[in-house]
């Protein structure tokens, strides 16, 4: 999904791809997800969503081997114990007005010259 708006937010989804399946809720309070595919685009700080685009949490770190990594997610939701087996997606999010502001700055710079 691209260029979709997240409801009740100042952010929009730029890309949304399958991260993996939630394995369990750790003792440290994080959700552990086995990263599917190659995971080359997955990195710390990315937002994690469910299939209904509800924000589940944020990737804190990648753990395990490079060939089969796991993501440790800081959860935003309360019902963590009921989430095992849920497919989750990672996304890069940006401010809705980010692109328009950057274009305006370029126009202002061009006018100053």
**What does the pLDDT look like over 24-52, one tens digit per residue?**
988 888 999 999 876 678 889 999 999 88
The CATH number for 40's domain is 2.40.10.230
Domain interval for residue 80: 4-112
**pLDDT at residue 60 tops 80:** yes
pLDDT at 103: 47
Please give, one letter per residue, the 3-state secondary structure of 6-56. CCCCCEEEEEEEEEEEEEEECCCCCEEEEECCCCCCCCCCCEEECCCCCEE
Confidence of residue 2 (pLDDT cuts 50, 70, 90): very low
Domain count, the chain: 1
Q: For residues 25 and 81, is the Cβ–Cβ distance under 8 A?
A: yes
């Amino acid at each position: 999904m691209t260029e979709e708006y997240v409801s009740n937010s100042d952010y929009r989804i730029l890309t949304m791809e399958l991260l993996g399946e939630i394995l369990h809720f750790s003792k440290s309070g994080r959700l552990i997800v086995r990263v599917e595919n190659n995971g080359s685009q997955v990195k710390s700080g990315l937002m994690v969503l469910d299939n209904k685009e509800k924000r589940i949490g944020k990737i804190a770190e990648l753990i395990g081997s490079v060939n089969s990594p796991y993501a440790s997610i800081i959860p935003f939701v309360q019902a963590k114990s009921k989430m095992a087996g849920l497919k989750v997606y990672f996304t890069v999010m940006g401010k809705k007005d980010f692109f328009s502001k950057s274009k305006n700055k370029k126009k202002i710079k061009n006018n100053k010259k």
